[in-house]
Chains A and B, each alone.
Chain A
Amino acid sequence: MTMTTPLTPEIVSHEGNSMVLSMGPQHPSTHGVLQLMLEIEGETVAKIDAEIGYLHTGIEKSAENLFWSQAQTVIERMDYLAPESNALCYVLACEKLLGITGEIPERANQIRVLFGELTRLASHCVWLGTHAIDIGAITVFFHCFDLRENILDLQEAAGGARMHPNYMRIGGVNGDLPAGFLDKLDALIEKFPKLMRDLRGLLQANPIFQDRTIDVGILPAEEAVRWSVTGPALRASGIAYDVRKAFPYCGYDQYTFDVPTRTEGDAYARFLVRLDEMEESMRIVAQVRKRLDVPGPVMTSNPKVAAPPKETIALSMEALIHHFKIVSEGFRVPPGDVYHAVESPRGELGYYIVSDGGNRPYRVRTRPPSLYNLQALRGIAPGNFIADLVVMIGSLDPVFGEVDR
């Protein structure tokens, strides 16, 4: 095992102009959870190393010690800006292990797609707001959080909580959409084009914003593949890889949408791809909305994973026992291993899950898109100014709950 010395602030090379600078974890653009060690020559970054792990909470270890359905609650907390994506990926993987993928009701899949896209919109709102603030544009933040608040309201109405609704369940979703939900959704669909026009109007043609982002942090397609970059960052480099198109799940192949791509691969291209993606997401939401008028079941009736309906519990002894068993003991999942991936707002989010036949997952390994996207910073930062690092981190959109897990 060869060990090289990690960059530490104590090491200052006096040869030439280079010195080591620690950026973060207190630096505002690193949001308190990332430390960058920079070897700089004047204002130019020569070498960069990142210290992560500030938010490491052992979620994978915790998940091994919880029931299959309980593990979902900690897994939602990995990518706290897009909890529904995490939950969706986990339940889809579990359903494959259980062999009940074909039993999920149509309406449940539609609701899953709906929240998969709404959570992408909400997540991109936070990215855009904070990215703009890092660069110096403050107004955008309020517009973004206005839109996000509308989406969180919908999440709260359906799942009961704003941030971590735990609405996806193995076998379907937790309860049908409440009364009045579709009206709120209609209102959001109606006002969305204006909100989007405002957001674009504030930044897209803004000369200061363009100066800060065009030709900054260029990531060529070849490099992006070498660094395993996925999601909007990969598509801004020209490769139109989207899990929703490549390996469709939840009936994504029934909806019409495009995969926005750019070829420049700089921070401005990543910005444009994400904005286009928000519009595509809303296009999918509008298509789902049309199908949601038809009522139907939202949970599989398979007694192996689904508790019996509440009204039967008071009438049937068997239903009561069954309900008690599922709540107190969980259900067992046949042994095997499975990898399932979804397109999260940050890229390919995958779960590699091993079951030993028990009522708890044996191993839950996450493929965190943020970790790999952030790692690419080591490839694109050298040769750039320190001030542009802030733009580069923002344009890669890492979420540290997921990087550190």
Chain B
Amino acid sequence: MPSTQQPPIAGAAIDPTSLRAPSLDDARVERVAPAHLRERLEQLKNDGFSMLLDLGAADYLQRVPRFDVIYHLLKMPMAPAPVTALSPQRLRVLCGVDGTSPHLPTVTDLWKSADWAEREVFDLFGIVFDGHPELRRIQMPRDWEGHPLRKDYPLRGPARERSPRPPFALKSNVAAGTPPSGQTLEALQEQVKRAAEGRSTS
């Protein structure tokens, strides 16, 4: 497997979502501005899109606005219904979010299930949902820094970019007093002393 430490921002297509219209799947696609998001989603919910299937995000690093938050909606009755009475329909609402201070209004009051989904987007992308009752990290530990699913976040995490050979594996480090493994303290001190003498005489 080719290990890529660089995030793969290869394609020239900065906004792949705009390229295939009509959509490839069975969903209708809409794009709304953040200012009209609440209004539109409320309207859709009243039109019968009563289930929020999923809430996710994507990071298009070089695009303005940088993020997309994606709402997958499903038309679903709120009461028991047999197969024949169902006419499910899917709808995808995309909303661009600015990269410098990503903010969106919450939809937890419309759909209860948005709670954990918004926390996850906040955790992994750093998008803040205003009005969310308890916006804190959900997947990563509480004291984690950074948002792992952003494209500028390295695959193995920050400060783990290279795995250099340990210092004691290098012969030149003996001079600096780094103990090679498997030796007693005295032998080490002796070795360090000899190395220091050798340096001063040469």
Contact = CB atoms under 8 A, between A and B. Distances in A.
Interface residues of B, number: 63
A340 B140 CA distance: 27
- Which range holds the interface residue count of chain A? 35 or more
Interface stretch (A58-66, A109-117, A154-162, A279-287): A58-66
A61 B23 contact: no
Contact of A96 (B12, B24, B80, B112): B24
B111 A4 contact: no
Contacts, number: 174
B72 A352 contact: yes
B113 A228 contact: yes
B interface SS class: loop
Contacts of A227: 112-113
B72 A225 contact: no
A221 interface: yes
Interface string B64-85: 0000001010001111111100
Interface in A221-259: 221-222, 225-228, 230, 237-242, 245-247, 259
Interface in B117-132: 117, 128, 130-132
A239 to B, nearest CB: 6
A70 B1 contact: yes
B138 A221 contact: no
A62 B154 CA distance: 11
Contact of A61 (B1, B51, B56, B149): B149
B16 interface: yes
A365 B133 contact: no
**B53, B54, B76, most chain A CB atoms within 10 A:** B54
Given A1-B130, A367-B72, A336 B86 contact: no
Contacts of A261: 80, 82
A180 to B, nearest CB: 34
A375 B56 contact: no
Interface in B127-157: 128, 130-141, 148-149, 155
Interface string A322-361: 0000000000000111111000000010101011111010
A372 interface: yes
A48 interface: no
Sorted nearest first, the 5 A-B pairs with minimum C-beta distance are A238-B80, A356-B11, A228-B113, A336-B20, A365-B56
23 contacts: A2-B133, A3-B135, A53-B140, A61-B148, A65-B4, A97-B24, A228-B53, A238-B79, A238-B80, A239-B81, A246-B86, A246-B88, A336-B24, A352-B70, A356-B12, A357-B12, A360-B10, A365-B57, A365-B70, A367-B72, A372-B116, A375-B112, A375-B113
Interface of A: 1-4, 6, 52-53, 56, 58, 60-62, 64-66, 70, 96-97, 99, 221-222, 225-228, 230, 237-242, 245-247, 259, 261, 263, 335-340, 348, 350, 352, 354-358, 360, 362-363, 365, 367, 371-372, 375-376, 379, 404-405
